[in-house]
């Protein structure tokens, strides 16, 4: 599929200067076609031109059907110093990405504002998660690759291994006026904990991926976030890639995996993840259960999308007894006590 890349600039009061942006549209797109939107937040020392680098990958995924037709857009934040933060006496990059840029994409490109996913790598992963966790019901999915998450709750807890390069500046600017409170307000982990109930209730699809040899040690913060999501019983997908580094082959493999995750979320939210026959078979299993489990059960498609429903119906008596004896059986994730 031949896609079309458009470049332009946006001026908005939230930031001082014009902002360059790029929009990728699938072949045959017209303004009347309201497509889901994927906002790509680039990393530090990068720009919206990253979308041009990913264009061949996205084209191939549109061709093979692993990614539905979408509008994909990226805006250039400062190479350093923006960090998707709302600066107290300066540019407000988080608000720009979450509000102004989305408004432009809805108004000028017909993107469906009710079907927006966030995708980011490194600093962009930090921004994507921070924005998503602030208002989880607003987003269709969020995917973060090697997100720039500092595993600390106060500036004083930051360690040299986690503040290489631009990450040291991120730690300083997260603190703003130097207070622990300001640092917490800009922490993804803090936002997760404050908004845990809303994030869980939204059933926001969350994707995390990082190499375990990331030169910036971003797997530390990613692992910390994964454990917090687990303990808070919030569903997510997590890949810790053996030998993966911050750049190199893993970076492109991670983009493909993240886009495939978003594509699956788009289809699920649109009800396109199963056929009419699948729905009939699921309904048959639920009806068999509601009718007292009498007679021969419906067919079990162990490798199909209806398999999990069938298995849970078959295990209903045991699951109910487990829940009676152990309240944690009702959780998605078990409570793992330290040895």
8 A C-beta contact, residue 310 and residue 301: yes
- Cross-strand partners of 44: none
pLDDT band, very low/low/confident/very high, at 30 (cuts 50, 70, 90): confident
pTM to 2 decimals?
A: 0.95
- CA end-to-end span of the chain: 53
Angstrom distance (rounded) from CA 120 to CA 128: 6
Angstrom distance (rounded) from CA 24 to CA 70: 8
pLDDT band, very low/low/confident/very high, at 32 (cuts 50, 70, 90): confident
Region of poorest pLDDT, from 140-149, 152-161, 174-183, 200-209: 174-183
pLDDT in tens, 44-103: 999 999 999 999 999 999 999 999 999 999 999 997 778 999 998 889 999 999 999 999
Report the chain's mean pLDDT, rounded to a whole number.
95
Cα 6 to Cα 51, 117, 178: the distances in Å are 10, 20, 40
- CB pairs under 8 A, 24+ apart, for 129-135? 129/188, 129/191, 129/225, 130/84, 130/94, 130/186, 130/188, 130/191, 131/84, 131/94, 131/97, 131/98, 132/204, 132/206, 133/188, 133/191, 133/192, 133/195, 133/199, 134/98, 134/191, 134/195, 135/98
pLDDT in tens, 282-323: 999 999 999 999 999 999 999 999 999 999 999 999 999 999
pLDDT at 243 over 90: yes
pLDDT at 1 over 70: no
What residues have CB less than 8 Å from 21, skipping those under 6 apart? 7, 8, 9, 10, 48, 73, 74, 75, 76, 101, 104
Tell the CATH superfamily of the 4-269 domain.
Alpha/Beta hydrolase fold, catalytic domain (3.40.50.1820)
Enumerate the domain spans of the chain.
4-269, 276-330
pLDDT at 176 over 90: no
Nearest of 107, 154, 105, 108 to residue 117 by alpha carbon: 105
pLDDT at 2 over 70: yes
């Amino acid at each position: 599929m031949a896609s079309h890349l458009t470049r332009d600039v946006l001026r908005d009061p939230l930031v001082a200067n014009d902002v360059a942006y790029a929009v990728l549209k699938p072949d045959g797109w017209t303004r009347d076609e309201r497509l889901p939107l994927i906002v790509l937040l680039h990393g530090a020392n990068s720009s919206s031109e990253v979308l041009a680098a990913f264009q061949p990958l996205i084209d191939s995924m549109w061709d093979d059907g692993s990614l539905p037709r979408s509008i994909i857009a990226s805006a250039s934040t400062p190479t350093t110093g923006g960090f998707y933060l709302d600066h107290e006496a300066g540019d407000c990059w988080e608000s720009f990405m979450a509000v102004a840029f989305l408004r432009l994409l809805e108004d000028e490109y017909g993107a469906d504002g009710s079907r927006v996913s966030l995708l980011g790598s490194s600093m962009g992963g930090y921004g994507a998660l921070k924005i998503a966790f602030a208002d989880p019901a607003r987003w269709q999915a969020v995917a973060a690759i090697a997100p720039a998450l500092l595993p600390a709750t106060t500036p004083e807890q930051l360690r040299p291994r986690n503040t290489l390069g631009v990450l040291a500046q991120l730690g300083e600017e997260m603190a703003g006026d130097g207070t622990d409170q300001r640092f917490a307000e800009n922490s993804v982990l803090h936002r997760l904990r404050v908004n845990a109930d809303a994030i869980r209730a939204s059933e926001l699809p969350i994707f995390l991926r990082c190499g375990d040899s990331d030169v910036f040690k971003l797997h530390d913060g990613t692992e910390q976030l994964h454990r917090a999501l687990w303990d808070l019983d919030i569903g997510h997908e997590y890949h810790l890639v053996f030998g993966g580094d911050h750049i190199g082959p893993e970076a492109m493999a991670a983009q493909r995996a993240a886009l495939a995750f978003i594509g699956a979320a788009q289809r699920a939210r649109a009800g396109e993840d199963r056929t009419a026959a699948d729905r009939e078979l699921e309904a048959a299993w639920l009806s068999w259960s509601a009718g007292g489990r009498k007679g021969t059960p419906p067919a079990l498609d162990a490798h199909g999308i209806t398999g999990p429903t069938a298995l849970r119906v078959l295990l209903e008596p045991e699951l109910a007894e487990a829940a009676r004896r152990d309240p944690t059986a009702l959780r998605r994730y078990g409570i793992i006590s330290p040895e």
